[in-house]
Homo-oligomer: A and B are copies of this chain.
């Protein structure tokens, strides 16, 4: 049971707005919000993705697209379900993502001879070239700035903690 700030009863009738705007232009108090990890986490994540998109603008790759290319390069010959699953993407939503990359000739879907239901995914030469350029952009412009901001040790510790949360929480 919480008690109203109103000094006297005032049982659900006319209520006065508080404080005749004494602190009109003051910055708001985040309060406990700054101790809420989820909140800071989300805001930080948005900033990081924003910067990623900026750095990747010349190649026009979103974080999700980049992650697909990278994962394919490290795991050639996998099918859509396997790639989508390890990225946490639902199969139906993965289709249009692949369509976009395939229409740009960055990868190909190929029917597997062993299981004619599944599509084996492979990077094209153009896909590999684009991925190489993308990796350089990420390393030199994006990740480098993060490391500079946090310091190498903190950056590494941060990576570890994120992995821990993603895996064990």
**In the complex, which of the residues A41, A74, A150 has the most CB atoms of chain B within 10 Å of its own CB atom?**
A41
Contacts A37-B155, A88-B43, A162-B43 given; indicate if A125 touches B74 (C-beta within 8 A).
no
Q: Which of chain B's residues has its CB closest to A155's CB? A: B37
**A34 CB contact (under 8 Å) in B49, B159, B165:** B159
Contacts of A132 in B (CB 8 A): 2
Say whether B150 contacts A164, CB under 8 Å.
yes
Count identical subunits in the complex: 2
Q: Which of chain B's residues has its CB closest to A112's CB? A: B17
Say whether A28 contacts B163, CB under 8 Å.
no
Contacts of A63 in B (CB 8 A): 38-39, 42
Say whether B38 contacts A52, CB under 8 Å.
yes
Known: A41-B162, A42-B63, A45-B45; 9 extra A-B contacts, CB below 8 A, are: A2-B125, A2-B128, A17-B110, A17-B113, A29-B74, A33-B74, A37-B158, A38-B45, A41-B48
